[in-house]
């Protein structure tokens, strides 16, 4: 029973990591824009690469620098997915090592008769 609960716990964590990694990869561009906004466009991309428009908007004109700000999110997503699959593999190994459950093993074991009585 303990092994089953541990396997279930590992499986839930693994699936959560895989989903979080996929979400991080999927939304890496909005995350990059948020990170650049948080640091400041001029500081992140260089003052020459930010054009201020009349309406108060900004044009970001350095795609290479923007790609560099996206790479950490790609790495994070890949690490999350890798960790999820590592947990699943470890979970599979635990299941293989556990063999039949202890309750099933007790039912199949022959009864010991105390001959001293």
The pLDDT of residue 109: 47
b or e along 50-66 (b: 16 or more beta carbons within 10 Å of the residue's beta carbon)? beeeeeeeeeeebeeeb
The pLDDT of residue 106: 47
Under-50 pLDDT residues of the chain: 103, 105-109, 111
The pLDDT of residue 115: 59
Distance CA 17, CA 74 (A): 14
Q: Enter the pTM of the model.
A: 0.71
Residue found under tokens 């009864």: 111
């Amino acid at each position: 029973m303990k092994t089953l609960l541990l396997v279930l716990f590992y499986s839930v964590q693994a699936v959560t990591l895989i989903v979080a990694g996929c979400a991080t990869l999927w939304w890496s561009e909005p995350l990059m824009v948020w990170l650049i906004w948080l640091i400041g466009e001029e500081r992140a991309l260089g003052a020459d690469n930010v054009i201020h428009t009349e309406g108060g908007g900004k044009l970001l004109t350095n795609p290479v620098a923007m790609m560099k700000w996206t790479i950490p999110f790609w790495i994070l997503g890949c690490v999350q997915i890798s960790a999820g699959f590592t947990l699943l593999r470890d979970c599979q190994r635990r299941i293989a090592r556990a063999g039949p459950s202890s309750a099933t093993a007790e039912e199949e074991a022959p009864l010991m008769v105390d001959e001293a009585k």
